[in-house]
Structure 1
Amino acid sequence: MSKAVTESDEQSGLRRDLSGRQVGMIAVGGAIGTGLFLGSGLAISIAGPAVIIAYAVAAFAALALAYALAEMIVVHPEAGGFGPIAQRYLGGLAGFVQRWMYFAAQVVNIGSEVVAAGLYVQFWYPQMPLWLPVVVFSAVMLAVNASAVRYFGEFEYWFAMIKVVTIVVFILLGLTYIVFGLPGHAPVGVSALTEHDGFLPNGIGAVWLALTVVTFSYLGTEAVALTASESRDPGRDVPRAARGTVLRLALFYVVGMLVVVSILPWNQVSTEDDVTQSPFVRLFATAGIPAAAGIMNFVVLTAALSAMNTNLYVTARMTYSLARDGYAPKWFTGLSANGAPRRALLLSAVGLALAAAISVFSPETAFPMMLGLALFGALIVWLLILATQLAFRRRRAAEGLPPSPVRLPGTPVTTVLVMVFVAAVLLTTPFTEQFNTAWKAGVPFLLVLVGAYYVVRKRAAARG
């Protein structure tokens, strides 16, 4: 373990049982949900073939964020990841708001993923009531998270591996179809990139609008920071996982979108969350893979459960971190005999139940607001992570401390440029149909958190 890690490694009570390969797959599992398999069609419908540019641009921003995180986590591998670091360098308000914002965003994601998983089960059993698979999957994922962290890591490793293998097979099949053709099908080439009203059918402005949806696809890359306090060697594993996750995502999304818009006319790509319409299904069926829709349904089911599993992990660790710093009841700092923060997991379970119920019973009204809150909160978290990195770099230089073993190239210019990009995406959300609720839900929630911080701080001062 590096010297920097040893000097600042605070004993959190959590057990360092996650291996390097598990840390890497947890990061991938949190970032790749059903968005790539199904939701990517939405971005394509907005930008056309030029969606490739949007995914590449967002990948650079996510990679910069990953480097900024790794730079700080190597020095401060603490429970709660970026939350306690924000508190250390930006103050208590930033640490409080960032962690509760992230908790809320991830809880919404967890609820949406478990409902999606239930819907995928109905693909095989259409008469089954939706609540049944939702309850079963919730219980199973909570049990996995309540177990020893090494078991959670192994479970998530193989769940995420299913997604990765599927994506790699899809890309290889697609490139083969484009260049060489498939049995009974001549090579399609890349003419579809320009045949249907050109590469930019809706103009450059549509590419920017698509960035709102595209950036949402990269959210979750920051989850790797939450593994630092339970990694066997955070100084080595976390930076490697952070960089590797973003590079994999960039490859999967950019090359995957190139395959999709080369094989299928962009205006025929479905935007509905229907597995039978997924571009993956159409390609696998063309390649002669039997029961392509059924196989793909299994894959998107595991994708949803994997994302849910990882997000439960990070929300529990975030709650545990808040409780340790006095921003949530101390009761949530309790650990089980195997070192899992089961009490903190209970709060995530309550949020899961609420989000799932709202997504089932109020999908047309309340759930879009929650989805908007999730995007708003996640982008605010990104901005605070980048601001923390600037303060981290500045303070270490002022105190004459050695630089971090991992450094974001070009700081402060790179950091500021990415912050401008993230802020611009956030300001664009009101102009996209899917996320125009972001500000309506996010700003009031942010104000509530600011007020709550001062109430909590005042009570802590009174106690003394």
Structure 2
Amino acid sequence: MTGEAPAPATVEARSTGLRRALSGRQVGMIAIGGAIGTGLFLGSGLAISLAGPAVIVAYVVAALAALALAYTLAEMTVVHPEAGGFGAIAQRYLGAGAGFVQRWIYWTAQVVNIGSEVVAAGLYVRFWYPQLPLWVPVIAFSVIMLVVNAVSVRFFGEFEYWFAMIKVSAIVVFLVLGVLYIVVGLPGRPAVGLDALTEHGGFAPNGIGGVWLALTVVTFSYLGTEAVAVTAAESRNPVRDLPRAARRMVLRLALFYVLGMAVVVSIVPWQDAAEASGVQSSPFVTLFEAAGVPAAAGVMNFVILTAALSAMNTNLYVTARMGHSLAVDGYAPRWMARVNQRGVPRNALALSATGLVLAAVISATAPQEAFAMMLGIALFGALVTWLLIFATHAAFRRKRSAAGLPASPIRMPGAPVTTALAALFVAAVLVTTAFTDHFNTAWKAGLPYLALVVLAYLAIRRYRRNAAERPTEALER
């Protein structure tokens, strides 16, 4: 591909049958819904155990990388608001192979995430009904979310807006109560101050090495930031809405994670926060109980349940659009490109649902090693996706400049230097995962799967080439 594109003012998505029905507020909340799962509420213990209170620094550094990603995506997608988002843009500027690999490995990563989220949601229901078989809520939630995605993109957007609002509101309440508890205290409880940040072995008890290892955990908290680009082909006004949504999403994530972790390690000794597991021991529950919130654990379990379902809902949307995009470009079965009268790619959604079922079954019944390998593919695929996004942005800038094409309405500050630095950071995190006990499956499972996807592309390209040559050979005979 030459990389040429019309000016942003006249850019339109390719005619793929998708409908521009998502409003600006819906696009913004979809972005938040995909990026905030259950990790903020329950999954921060490992990062805290590695870095101590200095986990705050780790979240700030990772937020800068996520902000760089948001800017690069916004710059490219306002020029090319296409089905498939960053995957289609990668094909345009890096070639068909990159577009194929990026979209399939990202599709797989998100399908695995969907499976793990729906199983997690089922477990949260058993908080209230411990005798309930896990498969009952798993199937129920799967059907509900598939229906939400299958009705229309507008219905999905509105549903996700209010669903994601629940967890966002809970986080805001937590932050307000936490700051009050730290500064002025809560009824019957004096202010705790900031002493906990340094009095339990210092701010960085495990040194710089511990902070860096925590970055391998913390970076995963921001995975999902890229989902906003997939809404480009269905946004009513992508030139206005996508840059705004990308910036606000990362700033909100940074606020939630950075300030959230600051509150956690200030009100709970970091050793205790590191060992916390389950809803009952969540720092959110500790703070809500201190504030006198009735049935704090039950309330928090409901919030965590909606967080899991919201992330699952958004990821279903993303995987359906990725599969549809691959089919439009001829790298998936043609039936996946079809859309219904309301512009929903139901066939691609059905394929994503098949993956959901597989991931859910494996996560619920398979040995721990099998589920770890699936998560390894997901982690590896997500980081490779980020690397390819930064590589695409570098090619985007270079080719458009060489062709004398107009600049994007929004530009990544400091590029190409900032793009390169962000890519180096993500690459370093990816390499580090190979040497950590918790995430080395990312390489053990992810690298072979990446090789499999590359081989699949080479086989498809060879088949296409041979098919194209056959008519010519027949005429010559």
**Category of TM-score, reference length = shorter chain:** over 0.9
Note the C-alpha offset of 1:42: 1.7
1:433 aligns with 2:433: no
CA distances 1:410-440 after superposition (whole Å, capped 9, x unpaired): 1110000001000000001022222110000
Tell me which residue corresponds to 1:369: 373
Which residue, out of 28, 36, 39, partners 1:35?
39
CA contact (8 A) 2:13 2:83 kept: no
Tell me which residue corresponds to 2:234: 230
CA distances 1:179-199 after superposition (whole Å, capped 9, x unpaired): 000000000000000010000
Q: Structure 1 residues 219 and 319 mapped into 2: Cα distance closer, same or farther (>3 Å)?
A: same
Note the C-alpha offset of 1:60: 0.2
- For 1:161 and 1:284, the matched residues in 2 are separated by 19
- For 2:351 and 2:34, the matched residues in 1 are separated by 19
Which residue, out of 330, 334, 354, partners 2:358?
354
What secondary structure does 1:127 align onto?
coil
Tell me which residue corresponds to 1:337: 341
CA distances 1:422-460 after superposition (whole Å, capped 9, x unpaired): 000000102222211000001100110110001111122
Tell me which residue corresponds to 2:85: 81
- For 2:17 and 2:466, the matched residues in 1 are separated by 28
- For 1:444 and 1:148, the matched residues in 2 are separated by 37
Letter in 2 for 1:390: A
Letter in 1 for 2:184: F
CA contact (8 A) 1:5 1:77 kept: no
CA contact (8 A) 1:270 1:278 kept: no
CA contact (8 A) 1:209 1:431 kept: no
Tell me which residue corresponds to 1:122: 126
Tell me which residue corresponds to 2:65: 61
1:154 aligns with 2:158: yes
1:458 aligns with 2:462: yes
CA contact (8 A) 1:84 1:95 kept: yes
Note the C-alpha offset of 1:104: 0.7
1:185 aligns with 2:189: yes
Alignment of 1:148-297 (within 5 A): 148-271=152-275, 273-297=277-301
Note the C-alpha offset of 1:236: 0.6
Tell me which residue corresponds to 1:444: 448
1:301 aligns with 2:273: no
What secondary structure does 1:431 align onto?
coil
CA contact (8 A) 2:74 2:410 kept: yes
Tell me which residue corresponds to 2:473: none
Shifted more, 208-217 versus 40-49: the winner is: 40-49
CA contact (8 A) 1:159 1:306 kept: yes
Which residue, out of 101, 104, 109, partners 2:105?
101
CA distances 1:34-73 after superposition (whole Å, capped 9, x unpaired): 0000001221111100000000000000000000000000
Q: Say which one has the larger Rg.
A: 2
Q: Structure 1 residues 453 and 431 mapped into 2: Cα distance closer, same or farther (>3 Å)?
A: same
CA contact (8 A) 1:5 1:76 kept: no
- For 2:291 and 2:445, the matched residues in 1 are separated by 44
Note the C-alpha offset of 1:3: 5.4
Number of residue pairs matched? 463
Tell me which residue corresponds to 1:16: 20
What secondary structure does 2:342 align onto?
coil
- For 2:343 and 2:165, the matched residues in 1 are separated by 26
CA contact (8 A) 1:99 1:318 kept: yes
Letter in 2 for 1:90: L
Tell me which residue corresponds to 1:319: 323
CA contact (8 A) 1:112 1:356 kept: yes
Letter in 2 for 1:349: A
Note the C-alpha offset of 1:463: 2.6
User: Which aligned runs of 4 or more in structure 1 are off by greater than 6 angstroms?
Assistant: none
Identity %: 71
- For 1:138 and 1:423, the matched residues in 2 are separated by 34
Q: Structure 1 residues 247 and 431 mapped into 2: Cα distance closer, same or farther (>3 Å)?
A: same
- For 1:327 and 1:333, the matched residues in 2 are separated by 10
Note the C-alpha offset of 1:6: 2.4
CA contact (8 A) 2:42 2:279 kept: yes
Tell me which residue corresponds to 2:11: 7
CA contact (8 A) 2:7 2:405 kept: no
- For 2:436 and 2:259, the matched residues in 1 are separated by 25
- For 2:119 and 2:297, the matched residues in 1 are separated by 19
CA contact (8 A) 1:317 1:344 kept: yes
CA distances 1:388-408 after superposition (whole Å, capped 9, x unpaired): 000000001000011111100
Letter in 1 for 2:28: G
TM normalised by structure 2 equals: 0.96
- For 1:109 and 1:407, the matched residues in 2 are separated by 31
What secondary structure does 2:43 align onto?
helix
Shifted more, 366-375 versus 74-83: the winner is: 366-375
Alignment of 1:409-428 (within 5 A): 409-428=413-432
Note the C-alpha offset of 1:11: 1.9
Shifted more, 40-49 versus 320-329: the winner is: 40-49
